[in-house]
Amino acid sequence: MTTATPEETRERPRGLAALKEALDRPLTPYYLLLGCTALLLTIGLIMVLSASSVISYKTTHNSYAIVERQLIWVAIGIPLAYVASRMPQATLRRLTVVGMLGSIVLLAAVQVPGLGKIVNGQKNWLNLGPLSMQPSELAKLALILWAANVYANKERRLGELHHVFMPVVPGALLVVGLVLLERDLGTALVFMAILLSLLWVVGAPAKLFGLALSVVGVSAFFLATTSSERRGRLLSFTNPFKDYLGDGWQAAHGLLGLSSGGIFGKGIGASQQKWGTLPESYTDYIFAVLGEELGLIGTLFVLCLFATIAWSAVRIASQTRDPFVRYVSFGVMVWLLGQAIVNIGMVLSLLPVIGIPLPLVSYGGSALLPSLIALGILIGFARREPEAAAALAARKRNRPARPAKQSRGL
């Protein structure tokens, strides 16, 4: 066994230089996306188990009922993500129109009597026999893929405003309108964020965004004031303890959970808020339980995982020469990171409570499956980049052959 000479040791990069060298490697986004997705899924399952155990026992006399359903969705989602990562890009692009049209049909079907179901004042669930789903979650991924395919086909004509707008903007606004019919303002705002991010990355005029943000802000405020529930949440989020027994109940208990966790948390399973005082403790407000049980260290770790996924997506988008890959990567980054920021801001009472789940962590198959498929697509993009594909091929060639199995004598 040889040892490095002092001269060789001095030549090796250290500290920030070593980190930069590691981040510059072709396969870094591929492994980071795999690792962060696996870690967020694992944390999500642990926190769903902890946050839902009390209500599961109250309703079914089985503390594991809710997490068992989440495990089923994970078992379905991982193979779908694998298939998405291996799907040829040409096949994926051919499916984008079908996915977009299917999402619009499902969103419209929610308004059909007998098919749509109202949950928490929002008619955004679709009954499909024994299963229920939120078509709006699937539509987020469908919109990104369809718009990316349209813009990739128009790559040379995007200097003209007409080609930037048509048909992506009307299609996205149709989806937003259908979501608003469901009285789901938070999800509609996510769609608008996705649309504006795609317009930005294809080079729409800067003055357009000032106008668009003004229109979206005024419209959102107006729609929020038309509902007494939304109006109460809008007025109470800045100081939820002022209306502790009313509209501020959920936000106040979310803050109590986060603040009581301290630096290291109370430990997994030790949350007090999950015992009935915190509504939606295993869905929209799971970050509050996470902060209570894992403390500041746990919440910062989750934030770092989302930031790493965002960095990997931006790295793929900035280095690829394929416009479809660039637009999809950027759109998925804005979608997942934007939802995480809105959810965490909501729990921290920096934003009103608008019912946005934390990607990969909150309970729910309707949100989990599209997120896993989207990440699977990004992982496929990362491994098919020319330098990454060459590195993987070289690694396989240099892998030592397995010793042949010796046959056993009789």
SS3 annotation, 25-82? CCCHHHHHHHHHHHHHHHHHHHHHHHHHHHHHHHHHCCCCHHHHHHHHHHHHHHHHHH
CB 335 within 8 A of CB 310: no
| Burial class of residue 246, CB neighbours in 10 A (0-12, 13-18, 19+) | exposed
Tell me which of 10-24, 107-121, 271-285 is least confident: 10-24
Tell me which of 192-201, 269-278, 298-307 is least confident: 269-278
The 10s digit of each residue's pLDDT in 54-93 is: 999 999 999 999 999 999 999 999 999 999 999 999 999 9
Q: pTM here? A: 0.90
Mean pLDDT of 41-46: 96
Q: Is the pLDDT of residue 191 over 70?
A: yes
CB 64 within 8 A of CB 46: no
The 10s digit of each residue's pLDDT in 209-228 is: 777 777 777 777 776 666 66
The 10s digit of each residue's pLDDT in 223-245 is: 666 666 666 666 666 778 776 66
- Indicate the helix (H) or strand (E) that contains 356: none
Domain locations in the chain as residue ranges:
26-385
In this predicted structure, what is the pLDDT of residue 246? 67
CB 285 within 8 A of CB 258: no
CB 254 within 8 A of CB 289: no
In this predicted structure, what is the pLDDT of residue 230? 63
In this predicted structure, what is the pLDDT of residue 266? 93
Mean pLDDT of 331-356: 90
- % pLDDT > 70, the chain: 88
CA-to-CA distance for 257 and 261, rounded, in angstroms? 7
CA-to-CA distance for 173 and 136, rounded, in angstroms? 13
In this predicted structure, what is the pLDDT of residue 328? 96
- % pLDDT > 90, the chain: 53
